[in-house]
Structure 1
């Protein structure tokens, strides 16, 4: 089997013309990035082409349904990973080297004492994650700043498993009502309640499961980004 010529970047609805056959008025098109002879991406956003699902299926040797499902899943997975990386590491981006290293190595213990420099890896991970969310080949740029973080209430079970994640409401009365209900539920299951900041609920789960130092920097970054603001 030969090396594929394209990889799926996502699926969009703002390009209604197929870049292969020229058909117009399409409901959606598939964003395809060219690959080199080794199967690596060979280009930038300017090199992405937009094919209708039928032409994309032919180019990839798959069914239309498979191409559509793969495109949606690829985009969702890529964005979700980027949001998790930013939610974990953006708060320590300008932290002391020691704290940044502690946060990184606690999540990547297998790289400790291997010569991997945590500061360099964190900078690279953040750059790649921000580039992913800034990539407009599959739609508008997505939120990627600490200022875009939202607070999430997390209830943990007694063995530190996630029981519930809920977005903290903006309204003060609703927030207090949520706090009371969450604490009552936590008491019932002998668990605990955390409030963390993240780009989405799945990333909030990552922060909640992280170590105390990561959550400390998470809270500190949230507070610094929202000084004088009542936004949640």
Structure 2
């Protein structure tokens, strides 16, 4: 067994039961988490004597429930066993280490926000699911879906002149010229487009990393909040005072 402790993970990596800190998939804040419970998912063919004195099956995948100490909501994490000494006697016989491979809800997933067009929300959610499945190495698919979300924004908010342009890059430039996007937001959207192109054409452009698309997911959500969510909230707040 590997008795060496895993290196400390970065604060911006999603939490698991071994390292219960990081961004909360529900509230989005960096937070510490409390492990509320665990349960086995995939068993091995090995047996040990457990704390109860009975023979128990070992498992190399488990689910953990983590409660965010910020918002108080739970996240379910599927984890794989990476090393350490199994607790065969029910005591502290060693450090058993796990790493998360899937999270629910997925960070960045937009869950039916009524202020966001459905096609925009669906593209972002699909990209977020690709990010969550770390074991499948799907950052390119995530980048492509985030780019698709930008294209849906053009369809929803762009003028006929913008939509008539032959490329997404030119469409975003036209939207900025028309005032449908301010220059900063257009620049952010163009960055999503560029990384999405790299995901769609891996043989022609530099490969897309998982860390890159995690940042891209945060960026596309900022864009959507700025364009749709916050203006709608302001309108409702003003309406409540009229």
TM-score bin (small chain): under 0.3
Flag the structure with more relative contact order, 1 or 2, with Cα contacts below 8 A and sequence separation at least 6.
1
Write 1 or 2 for the structure with the bigger share of strand. 2
Q: TM-score, normalised by structure 2?
A: 0.23
Q: TM-score, normalised by structure 1?
A: 0.23
